[in-house]
Chain A
């Protein structure tokens, strides 16, 4: 089970957002983060817990291992307000967290 917190995060543009994801058992570094803007398909941001996908801005960073993971978004831009999902791929079930909505404060 993957648990994300908080469910909703209110942040002002230009500030930093910190999103958390906790696994019920260790998944090593097999953790990915996705962004989903309204009306769009999800997009891969981070894999292997901390590797940015191609084309992802450097303001997105991932950290953690084992059971505790963090996605940090620095200097939030308008296009960053979206829902973010974590996902483990330590086993073939590929479980997602329930998502964190980052909204404009």
Chain B
């Protein structure tokens, strides 16, 4: 069974930083691309960032977070990270860790974590 366990969410002031982590089990982690998808309260789903698998360095970001967020992965720890800097109120959302359906940046989202809530407020 695939499990994706997120951590690192919480309350942060505007302009602050947070680092989300997601540990995966039940999959050959290095073989899959991993993504972060967020959902603002009462709103729909928004893809945030993705990191290709198989040792590929391809990293992609939504325009809304480009230059502020950084995705990384440590295949030795089966973990993907999202470093979030210069946080704004409109970054407030549940952040889901997602295992893509394959290794590339052009995949559907096969398995989802339960999400971690990030609240940006003073």
The answer to whether B109 touches A32, judged by C-beta atoms less than 8 angstroms apart, is yes
Tell me the count of chain B residues lying within 8 A, CB to CB, of chain A: 22
Nearest CB on A from B111, distance (A): 7
Q: How far is the CA of A97 from the CA of B108 in the complex (A)?
A: 14
**Which A residues are closer than 8 A to B by beta carbons?**
30, 32, 34, 36, 41-44, 47, 53, 85, 87, 89-99
Q: How far is the CA of A98 from the CA of B40 in the complex (A)?
A: 12
Q: Which residue of B lies closest to A32 (CB)?
A: B108
The answer to whether B44 touches A85, judged by C-beta atoms less than 8 angstroms apart, is yes
The answer to whether B107 touches A89, judged by C-beta atoms less than 8 angstroms apart, is yes
The answer to whether B108 touches A89, judged by C-beta atoms less than 8 angstroms apart, is yes
Q: How far is the CA of A88 from the CA of B115 in the complex (A)?
A: 22
Q: How far is the CA of A104 from the CA of B101 in the complex (A)?
A: 32
User: Contact check: which of B62, B105, B111, B115 meets A44 at CB < 8 Å?
Assistant: B111
Q: How many cross-chain pairs have Cβ atoms below 8 Å apart between A and B?
A: 57
User: Contact check: which of A44, A98, A99 meets B108 at CB < 8 Å?
Assistant: A44
The answer to whether A96 touches B46, judged by C-beta atoms less than 8 angstroms apart, is yes
Q: How far is the CA of A49 from the CA of B50 in the complex (A)?
A: 22
Which A residues are in CB contact (< 8 Å) with B37?
42
The answer to whether A90 touches B114, judged by C-beta atoms less than 8 angstroms apart, is no
Q: How far is the CA of A91 from the CA of B60 in the complex (A)?
A: 11
> Which of A32, A36, A41, A93 counts the most B-chain CB atoms under 10 A from its CB?
A41
B45 in the interface, Cβ–Cβ < 8 Å? yes
Q: How far is the CA of A93 from the CA of B96 in the complex (A)?
A: 16
Q: How far is the CA of A53 from the CA of B101 in the complex (A)?
A: 11
> Which of B37, B96, B114, B115 counts the most A-chain CB atoms under 10 A from its CB?
B37
